[in-house]
Amino acid sequence: MVFLIAVALAVLGILLRLPGRMIAAMLGLLWLGILLAHLALPAGHPMTAAIGGDWRSWAALGIGGALVLLYRTGLSRLRGKARPAGAAPAAKAGGAFSEAELDRYARHIVLREVGGMGQKRLKEAKVLVVGAGGLGSPALLYLAAAGVGTIGVIDDDVVSNSNLQRQVIHTDARIGQPKVFSAEAAMRALNPFVTVKPYNRRLGEGEAAALFAEYDLILDGSDNFDTRYLVNAAAVASGKPLVSAAITQWEGQISLYDPARGAPCYACIFPERPADGLAPACAVAGVMGALPGVMGAMMAVEAIKEITGAGEGLWGRMLIYDALYGESRQIVLKRNQGCAVCGRP
């Protein structure tokens, strides 16, 4: 009889579309009523015989049901706290670090030169990378991994098969896709806590200064002198520091240009483009595939130091790396007061 009543209550609750908790409460009240009847009625009463005859069995059933309910409740709460596989963890609003971010950046935070304040500066920083090719690929990946809050990337090229020998941010599956969107997908997959702004176009003289004004630091990974001179002029006009690198065959060079703080600009060191044939493009001269990885990673290192204030950046110095013989050297750079771009009028 009790079983039939319980089934009837459960079916009624389902038909009325009652919440599961309400159906469970109805069954709990039924159990409580039966238990009280056993305790209130004298032994041998016909009613107690009809509903089971022994209060101890009903008490055991109630305890068992309570344990199952507690287990399911605890399990539901654990599942609610757990993040589904592949889901992006949400960052805390207002610039605060989430627990996942603190764990992600722990190796930075324990560095004396970076610490919590340095990581906060990275989170608040805005960095624009010109070019999503050989130099831009590792630079973008390491900036995203480091937790730079906003990363812009501008490029008008698409991914081609010949890029994949050195441009590690792209994949075979994304051949034909604009490089900025391919790079955006890779950076978001690596770190969902950063904001990526892709600009699928060639950097134009008219917009360069205004675009640069939105960022704190510019990284130039372009592969032609026209763009390098344009980037330098816009960086000078907007007063933003510029990390610029270049590669060819087995050799790379990198420096931090910042005339607003007394360092030379790119045009101070290279006032005129080299004659035709003296600095051929990679498509003509070739390039060792891992070399842009080395130089692009150095660009990210200089950016991280510039943002956090750690160490001493390549301010007024140029580092030249010879991968073929495993050598590097530095030369001191001086500002040209007569420079057509940053010189005094």
The mean predicted confidence, pLDDT, of the chain is 85
pLDDT > 90: what percent of the chain?
A: 64
Q: What is the 3-class SS of 11-43, one letter each residue?
A: HHHHHCCCCHHHHHHHHHHHHHHHHHHHHHCCC
Can you give the pLDDT at residue 67?
A: 76
CA distance 257 to 218: 10
195-199 and 150-154 strand pairing: parallel
Burial letters 146-164, b for 16+ CB under 10 A, else e? bbbbbbbbbbebbbeeebe
The SS3 of residue 153 is: strand
**Confidence band (pLDDT; 50, 70, 90) for 83?**
very low
Q: For residue 240, how many other CB atoms are within 10 A of its CB?
A: 20
Question: Residue 87 pLDDT > 50, yes or no?
Answer: no
pLDDT (average), residues 132-157: 97
Can you give the pLDDT at residue 74?
A: 64
CA distance 130 to 132: 7
**Confidence band (pLDDT; 50, 70, 90) for 70?**
confident
End-to-end Cα separation, the chain, in angstroms: 102
pLDDT (average), residues 91-120: 86
pLDDT (average), residues 196-200: 96
pLDDT (average), residues 225-239: 94
Residue 244's H or E segment, with its range, is: strand 242-248
Look up residue 282 and give its two tokens: 């990679």
217-220 β-sheet, strand order? 195-199, 150-154, 126-130, 217-220, 242-248, 251-257, 317-322, 327-332
Residue 115's H or E segment, with its range, is: helix 115-124
* Integer CA distances (angstroms), 88 to 26, 82, 169, 190, 319, in order: 40, 12, 20, 10, 38
- Torsion 183-185-190-194 (CA) sign: positive
Can you give the pLDDT at residue 86?
A: 40
Question: Residue 345 pLDDT > 50, yes or no?
Answer: yes
pLDDT > 70: what percent of the chain?
A: 72
In terms of pLDDT, which residue wins out, 295 or 75? 295
The SS3 of residue 264 is: coil
Can you give the pLDDT at residue 162?
A: 93
Question: Residue 245 pLDDT > 60, yes or no?
Answer: yes
Contact 182, 171 (CB under 8 A): yes
pLDDT (average), residues 88-100: 63
Range from 63-72, 195-204, 249-258, 308-317 carrying the lowest mean pLDDT: 63-72
Question: Residue 167 pLDDT > 60, yes or no?
Answer: yes
Can you give the pLDDT at residue 137?
A: 97
Beta partners for 26? none
**Confidence band (pLDDT; 50, 70, 90) for 291?**
very high
Q: How many CA atoms lie within 13 A of 1 on its CB side?
A: 8
Which amino acid is residue 235, in one-letter code? Answer: A
pLDDT (average), residues 69-87: 53
Residue ranges matching CATH 3.40.50.720 in the chain: 115-332
Question: Residue 239 pLDDT > 60, yes or no?
Answer: yes
Architecture of the domain made up of 115-332? 3-Layer(aba) Sandwich (3.40)
**Confidence band (pLDDT; 50, 70, 90) for 148?**
very high
CA distance 226 to 224: 6
**Confidence band (pLDDT; 50, 70, 90) for 280?**
low
